[in-house]
Chain A
């Protein structure tokens, strides 16, 4: 993340110097800062609603039911998650919401799933295999109902605004498959290995100095 952020910003500064777009770029930057906060604030209400509802679903045993129902599909994808753990149920809820094109509700459910995965994560500042697998599937964007796209096409006067549904679903199936294969291969590479063995044998302490917010939520 350090490299990407650095490249984006430094590349931007150098290019702006060359193209003479310094003023516009500054404007865009400050505007983005403002809209980032608006986005987060807008998400709070939806987050609260879904977190409340998912807590109900947990207490009613629905999350466990969902987890057990989709167990055969989830076990090979997330071998590190203990069998029957509610984290799996929350992952399913997020994928389902994405399939239906539910936008911010999907984000809220996804963030809940991340909290659950962080609870199982031994190294609180390092992504676990399960997290990376979950996010790879998420960013691949498996979609059955691309509602926004259909709306834009329809308002532009398309004769068949929804004709792209099949193509979008197929394309996201391809990207999801690639995502899963990529994760399973990449996680075995030495460059991406979890540094747990090293640190544990060295000090026996989980290095978690400045991230107290962790995953335990009660």
Chain B
């Protein structure tokens, strides 16, 4: 049942962009909007936004890459081990939990690694998959989104984002235990 649902949802994803683009253009044309000129007018902003986020992206991605490569992230993960053991997170999945909010590609790498060594249908493979999907790359999103409009005082955004990450990652583990056993 879930596989059928999944196939339908993936098809919806494939169709989403063409259908959105098609219906926007069609409705705009029916409303007598000058579709080509207006599209170009909007698209012109794309370059500025892309260039504006570069310094913010460089700053955050460099710092995180350095932090990871230096071994500081491993230290952080061994410091957090007692706590995560307490809440029932498998020790193999801990690096995933630490990396997920910081680096999307790093987390994807860890997930692929776990899936390769333990198998995609093992408990660990499922936990890693669900953890990957359970939250977003908070640091990246905050740096890029706030950077794009030039905001430097982010107030409680990081705390709210990290709380959501913790909630997502923990519920990933618990939901897997409940759904798949283990």
**Chain A at the B interface: SS class:** helix
Cβ-based interface call for B171 (8 A): yes
Minimal Cβ-Cβ distance residue in B for A20: B71
- Report A117-155 CB contacts with B as 1/0, cut-off 8 Å: 110000011110001100110111101111111101100
Question: Contact residue range for chain B?
Answer: 35 or more
CB distance from A155 to the nearest CB of B (A): 9
Which residues of chain B are near A211, meaning CB under 8 Å?
150-152
CA distance A194 to B154 in the complex (A): 10
- B17 contacts the other chain (Cβ, under 8 Å)? yes
- Selected contact of A176 from candidates B72, B164, B172, CB within 8 Å: B164
B12/A100 in contact, CB under 8 A: yes
Contact A167 to B175, CB < 8 A, known contacts A47-B46, A56-B35, A56-B42: yes
- CB-based contact B49/A192 at 8 Å: no
Would you call A111 and B144 a contact (CB within 8 A)?
yes
A13 to chain B, nearest CB (A): 7
A residues engaging B (CB < 8 A)?
1, 4-5, 8-9, 11-16, 18-19, 21, 24-25, 27-29, 31-33, 35-37, 39-41, 43-57, 59-62, 97, 100-102, 105, 107-108, 110-111, 114-115, 117-118, 124-127, 131-132, 135-136, 138-141, 143-150, 152-153, 156-168, 170-172, 174-179, 182-183, 186-187, 189, 192, 194, 211, 213-215, 217
Q: Which residues from chain B sit less than 8 Å from chain A, CB to CB? A: 2-3, 5-7, 9-10, 12-13, 16-17, 20-21, 24-25, 27-28, 31, 33, 35, 38-47, 49-54, 57-72, 75, 108, 111-112, 115-116, 119-121, 125-126, 129-130, 132-139, 141-146, 148-161, 163-168, 171-172, 175-176, 179-180
